[in-house]
Structure 1
Amino acid sequence: MDSDKDSRFIPVNDTCNMLEMTLSFPEQLEEAYQIAEKQELIKINHIPSSIATIGMGGSGICGNIVATSAIENIKMPVFSFRDYTVPEYIDDKCLVFAISYSGNTIETLTSLKALLDRSLRNIIIISSGGILEQVSQKFNLPHIKIPAGRPPRASLGYLLIPIIVSLGKLGLFNRYEDTIKEVIKEVEALRTDVNADIPVENNIAKDVAIQIKGKLPIVYGTGEAMGVVAERWAGQFQENAKVLTFNRTFPELCHNQAIGWEDASGITDKCVVISLEGEWEKGAKVEQRGALLDIVKGKGIPVLHINITGDGGLPAIIRAIYLGDFISIYLSALNNVDPCSIGGINSVKERIAPYIDKLNLLS
């Protein structure tokens, strides 16, 4: 390290090497691409009328990222379901991705059972194993198996890239190979700028971590692209840095939270707003954002403006997500917490574990 000061940003209690996994994200993307390219996919007799993903947490957000990318790369509706149910309008004309890093996520398994019970078979499964892999074998469904032994939130590349490659190989995602190359190029450049060796005065990730330490972060994203990034940042701050975080999206929040800020007494010294601002955003949306943030600033609440470069496509989204990942790791170090521990999530999973057996997916 360049200085003792910067050593504060290295997690002391990093039981799963989360920092190293974050640093190796560009290589993860490349490996995920190679894994997915080798996978033999289902034969489809007709072009799907829509695409759907089912998944939760670090797996589920992949569907939202793909749906956001649909504006530029996909010419059909994309639905992301993150619950126990899937609507009846998801039928055999829809191509479905069932995604769970462990392969044992109860919400994903329950949704998948509903689809199988409706005789749907246009399903591609992505997991590191688990019950999903066994289901793929039982029903002869394509299974893209990804490396095991990692936290799902540190496996975004393994979970996301196979969706894009699968769609590309089926002719449903324009320029998928070039897009993935652009994504890798963007995250490699960001890693150079914000890795652990770059001192805080030249490192936006470390600087933001310092400014939000001890605060309640509220992450705002402008538009769908930055909205999904805001959700990822909030999730990473909570899981890695153990900091309660909220997220909202412009312009929707202007229609409700503008009033919520009117009486912010008692919390102004606790909150910090992070505004993710794509340089491609123009016009009324930007004016709305400025008006709302003026209200926030008027209450004495600090606002961090984070400029996101690019055109709002997948490379810009993944680069912005990657920046949030670094911030969350550096914040975990400042908070002296293990970025890997997820005691609360595990306690919830233990409570609902008996319900998985009741699904009888393999009987």
Structure 2
Amino acid sequence: MTWEPERLDDQRHLSDGDPGGMLPAVAAAAAHVRTGYRSAVEARVDRLAGMGRPRAVVVAGMGGSGIAGDIMAAAVGNGAPLPIITLRSYQLPGWVGATDLIIAVSGSGDTEETLAVATQAVRRGCTLLGVGAPGSPLEAIATQASAVYVPVPVSGQSRAAVWLLTVPLIVAAAALRLVPADQELFERVATALEDMAHRCRPSSESFVNPGKSLALDVAESLPVIWGSSAAASVAAYRLACQLNTNAKYPAIYGELPEAGHGQVATFDGPMAERDIFADAPAHALRLVVLRDVEEHPQLTRQREASLRLARDRDVPVTELAAEGTHPLERMASLILLGDYASTYLALGYAIDPSSVSAISELKARISQ
């Protein structure tokens, strides 16, 4: 597989090389926000308010579904009066009990890890909220337990429907008075996503297209992706995951300030060396920093110092700033940019961004 940047502006290639329609799916993010909100309202997620505030919220989900819990926690922020935990596992922690809210999220509605957790939640008497495909095993578990269930019309890959799966969780958080969120906020988020989708559209050429530009930066490098706040770190993690699944491309995720106590040392390692006389570019480090307007002052100093440190060692740097006032808006702008970039990176390598044959094979081997 060779990187050919001219593919990014070849409209025929972008169409033929994307038989699963990942680019159109990514472009539907704004519509997913509106549909997710409508689905949550119609499912009467506000009924959770009548059950009282839980001791803790545990969001169970894998892959593109699990990120919904991270987004929810970052949207609520440090002022949360209770812990919000994302669980990517088969088993609930031992401390979880009847006073806790378990939110089981699965785009397909049949993710075995999530079904296992939802079943355990019912057995322990927890309050359960399910979000996933209609008519699925997850809905059956929720229905049998008389739990609230939000059916969302996920088609294709769940990772391309992150907002369909996430918005019901934010509606639930608003019902529990954990975060102020109303239809006006979701409309602002949808509008921001529409703007980013327009800027990253396939017909927009690489030199003015932020999604293609980020793909060009990342190509033929090992990206080290850092977030400078809770919201930016969720977007950084999402970008690393999307590079893995869409582009089949390795990426290292980190969060400041922790990355400054470990990953920064890689700037002095073998992957940071560059041979300026080589015929082809070396697959060396590139630092990608996602920054937010809400940063601890000391963290801002560390981010700026880290960028200088990288540049002093000739490690190339890409810095991206979040846009918007609410944390949900800022995450949305960065997440959609990364979704586009990972898809364009795949297409630049002539890789089908929808295909996940290794994941499918792994699941098949486990089920035998």
Same fold? TM cut 0.5: yes
Shift of 1:171: 4.1
Question: Equivalents in 1 of 2:51, 2:114: separation in Å?
Answer: 26
After superposition, give the CA deviation of every residue in 1:212-235 in whole Å (9 maximum; x if it has no partner): 222222211112111110110011
Question: Equivalents in 2 of 1:46, 1:266: separation in Å?
Answer: 53
Q: Any conservation in 2 of the 1:50–1:95 contact (CA below 8 Å)?
A: yes
Question: Equivalents in 2 of 1:165, 1:248: separation in Å?
Answer: 29
1:346-357 pair list within 5 angstroms:
346-353=360-367
Matched, 1:26 2:40: no
After superposition, give the CA deviation of every residue in 1:147-179 in whole Å (9 maximum; x if it has no partner): 143201011111001111233345443233232
Q: What is residue 132 of structure 2 aligned with on the other side?
A: 127
Letter in 2 for 1:126: V
Shift of 1:98: 0.6
Question: Equivalents in 1 of 2:330, 2:107: separation in Å?
Answer: 24
Q: Any conservation in 2 of the 1:102–1:127 contact (CA below 8 Å)?
A: yes
Q: Any conservation in 2 of the 1:103–1:132 contact (CA below 8 Å)?
A: yes
Point out the more displaced range, 285-294 or 219-228: 285-294
Q: Any conservation in 1 of the 2:7–2:14 contact (CA below 8 Å)?
A: no
Letter in 2 for 1:115: A
Letter in 2 for 1:83: S
Shift of 1:329: 1.5
Q: What is residue 52 of structure 2 aligned with on the other side?
A: 46
Q: What is residue 41 of structure 2 aligned with on the other side?
A: 37
* Gapped regions of structure 1 (runs ≥ 5): 355-363
* Gapped regions of structure 2 (runs ≥ 5): 1-5, 275-281
Q: What is residue 92 of structure 1 aligned with on the other side?
A: 98
Matched, 1:60 2:63: no
Q: Any conservation in 1 of the 2:122–2:128 contact (CA below 8 Å)?
A: no
Shift of 1:338: 0.4
Question: Equivalents in 2 of 1:123, 1:219: separation in Å?
Answer: 34
Question: Equivalents in 1 of 2:308, 2:7: separation in Å?
Answer: 38
Give the TM-score normalised by the residue count of structure 1. Answer: 0.89
Question: Equivalents in 1 of 2:286, 2:51: separation in Å?
Answer: 52
Question: Equivalents in 2 of 1:197, 1:218: separation in Å?
Answer: 29
Match of 1:283 among 293, 297, 301: 297
Match of 2:258 among 231, 252, 256: 252
Q: Any conservation in 1 of the 2:8–2:14 contact (CA below 8 Å)?
A: no
Shift of 1:13: 2.4
Q: Is the partner of 1:58 in helix, strand or coil?
A: coil
Question: Equivalents in 1 of 2:196, 2:89: separation in Å?
Answer: 33
1:67-82 pair list within 5 angstroms:
67-71=73-77, 75-82=81-88
Q: Is the partner of 1:200 in helix, strand or coil?
A: coil
Point out the more displaced range, 201-210 or 57-66: 201-210
Q: Any conservation in 2 of the 1:274–1:305 contact (CA below 8 Å)?
A: yes
Question: Equivalents in 1 of 2:266, 2:178: separation in Å?
Answer: 42
Give the TM-score normalised by the residue count of structure 2. Answer: 0.88
Q: What is residue 150 of structure 1 aligned with on the other side?
A: 156
Q: 1:83 to 1:346 in 2, by over 3 A?
A: same
Question: Equivalents in 2 of 1:24, 1:325: separation in Å?
Answer: 12
Q: What is residue 223 of structure 1 aligned with on the other side?
A: 229
Matched, 1:12 2:12: no
After superposition, give the CA deviation of every residue in 1:291-339 in whole Å (9 maximum; x if it has no partner): 2233333333211111223346111011110111111121121111101
Question: Equivalents in 1 of 2:66, 2:311: separation in Å?
Answer: 33
Q: 1:282 to 1:53 in 2, by over 3 A?
A: closer
Identity over aligned pairs, percent: 25
Matched, 1:340 2:354: yes
Q: CA RMSD in A?
A: 2.3
1:169-180 pair list within 5 angstroms:
169-180=175-186
Question: Equivalents in 1 of 2:346, 2:23: separation in Å?
Answer: 10
Q: What is residue 329 of structure 1 aligned with on the other side?
A: 343
Letter in 1 for 2:149: H
Aligned length: 351
Shift of 1:141: 2.0
Question: Equivalents in 1 of 2:362, 2:254: separation in Å?
Answer: 25
Q: Any conservation in 2 of the 1:11–1:336 contact (CA below 8 Å)?
A: no
Point out the more displaced range, 299-308 or 329-338: 299-308
